[in-house]
Amino acid sequence: MNLNELNRLCTLCGTSGREHAVRNYILGELKSAGVPEDAVTVDRLGNVLVHITGLKRPVHKVLFTAHMDEVALMVTAVNADGTLSFDTVGGIHAGAVIGRQVLVGKDMHPGVIGTKPVHHLSKSERTAPAEMSALYCDIGTCTKEESLKIVRPGDIIYFDTVPQVFGEDSYAAKAIDDRFGCLILLDLIRGMAGHNAEFDADFAFVVQEEVGLRGAGVAAAQVDPDIAVIFESTTAADLPDSHGTDRVCELGKGAVISFIDGRTIYDKALYDHAVACCEKNRIPWQTKTKIAGGNDAGAIQNAGSGVRVLAVSVPCRYLHAPVSVIRLSDAEACEKLAELLMLTLRLDFEG
């Protein structure tokens, strides 16, 4: 796995509707890979669509997708004391952001997420879950006027997290969801571009997944695929206080192949095919043990005349938090499966 590139992708800041930094990076990498300009389209929403022309048309038109956006916070007001009120872009738990260092506005001004000191909390407040409305962002100013020189309502607050490898096989960063999927797509494209690819293939780096799967349906409507494979990160709840099916999936047990989640019932033949690829090639894999979450498959499945969908995800702890954790071995399993699906779904899949 290209760990240096994953570091770069995860460090980029691009929340829903503000994916331009990620998009520009991807466009630069497509150009460097030799993808012709006329093979790349940026649509009105900001999705990046890539069509690689091969020597033949495949039996099935397959779209490989990942989303570019990450969860973040948005400034909603500048207060008299210079602090910032904010709300979420995507699903974020308030308790996960208290005390976190952040980057604010177009100039990435440093800040810290704060809340009322614990010794000022009432007994009931100490036991109640944290609420986003009780938090504020401190950017080191003392007045509203000072803060307005730096930031305006509508500006984005990003988590300031440095990617790192730690332990025996673990990797921590922000935005693994879904920059890991973007990395897979880039590697698949590089494997085809300029190499006389045998079959055509389509790819979509999509926007606004975190706020309702908004870009994926638009992308699928334009490509009109028979099959779509969504590369994602999914919640691993394998923590000390979770047991049985509540663990959903686990770090270190391989790629996650979903048969159902909170938005989608996946195509059974595609699921079986992906599992068979793993079994035949000794790729570790697992499935989700709880119907939870969702991804762009939920929008793609309903596009046009309908699309058969498959999701392959890396299990990820602390999803939608300032820092998430994956196992590099799981990431490598996803990459190996992605390469096999690229070959088999366009060639000999008969499900």
Q: Which residues are catalytic?
A: 209
What's the CA gap between 87 and 74, in Å, rounded? 5
Angle at alpha carbon of residue 163, lines to 157 and 166, rounded to 5°: 140
Query: In this structure, how many other beta carbons lie within 10 angstroms of the beta carbon of residue 268?
Result: 11
Q: Which residues pair with 204 in a beta bridge?
A: 49, 65
Helix ranges restricted to H, the chain: 3-11, 20-32, 123-127, 144-148, 176-192, 214-223, 268-281, 297-300, 328-344
DSSP letters spanning 41-79: EE-TT--EEEEE--SB--SS-EEEEEE--B-EEEEEEE-
What's the CA gap between 241 and 276, in Å, rounded? 33
What's the CA gap between 327 and 51, in Å, rounded? 31
